[in-house]
Amino acid sequence: MNEEFARSRLAKTCKQLYDRNLTVSAGGNMSVRLNTVEIIITPSGRNKGSLQPEDMVKMNLAGEIIGGGKPSIEHKFHLALYEENPETNAVVHCHPLYCTALAVNNKKIKSNITPEGALLLGRVPLIPYYTPGSQELVDAIMDYPKARAMLMSKHGALTQGNTLEEAYNRMEELEFQAKLQILAGRTKDLPDSEIEKICNM
């Protein structure tokens, strides 16, 4: 992807996440793949509502910073997902309120209670808690490298996609499903046969 275009799309997506209350203040980090070896990622410690295209930090998959800026400390799991999945072109990690409300209680997100959840998210694993930025957290995430969306215990949520829009949509849907689950209380998944039918559509 053209770097200038990627920078402006990433800044727009950060603003969208912020405006939709999917992230607050400096929380979370988002990235886009430029080519097979390089990505751009949000900088460390900045409010996602006011990031500009030029604020994004360019890195290679070996973890080297190209040009200026300090990348988010959580860049390691972004790099690992890009390395493992050639089809992944965007990664979104943030701390949406309802996702995090489930995550702090170690509750899984049931994504199979509506057709939309099953279709957009598939099964959503719950990643055990490890310190942000640690290799242990990267390893725990890489136990589910193909998951479209994950919940991170005591921390937040993570999605990946073929495009930035797809990763964003999965995050928005994940937060909707978390909110729905909390509002609906005890509820059952759609039957497995129906899930199979939806996923084959």
Residues at the site binding Zn ion, with contacts judged by CB under 5 A: 156
**Cβ(49)–Cβ(15) under 8 Å?**
yes
- With a CB cutoff of 8 Å and minimum separation 6, the contacts of 191 are none
Copy the structure tokens of residue 12: 């727009």
Compute the least distance from the CB of residue 42 to Zn ion, in Å: 11
User: Which residue, 125 or 156, has its beta carbon nearer to Zn ion?
Assistant: 156
Cα distance between residue 97 and residue 171, in whole Å: 12
Residue 200 CB, shortest distance to Zn ion, in Å, is: 34
Q: How far is the CB of 119 from Zn ion (least distance, A)?
A: 26
Instruction: Provide φ and ψ at 56, rounded to 5°.
Output: -70, 150
State the catalytic residue, choosing from 38, 54, 64, 74.
74
Which pair of tokens denotes residue 81?
Answer: 């997902």
Phi, psi of 57 (to 5 degrees): -110, 130
Nearest residue (CB) to Zn ion, 71 versus 156:
156
Give the nearer residue to Zn ion in terms of CB position, either 158 or 195. 158
| Per-residue DSSP letter, 26 | T
Residue least distant from Zn ion (Cβ): 156
Q: Is 74 a catalytic residue?
A: yes
Pairing of strands 149-152, 126-127: parallel
For Zn ion, which is the closer residue by CB, 118 or 137?
Answer: 137
CB of 25 to Zn ion, least distance (A): 12
Residues 174, 124 contacting (CB under 8 angstroms)? yes
Burial of 196 from C-beta contacts in 10 A (0-12 / 13-18 / 19+): exposed
Give catalytic residue positions.
Answer: 74
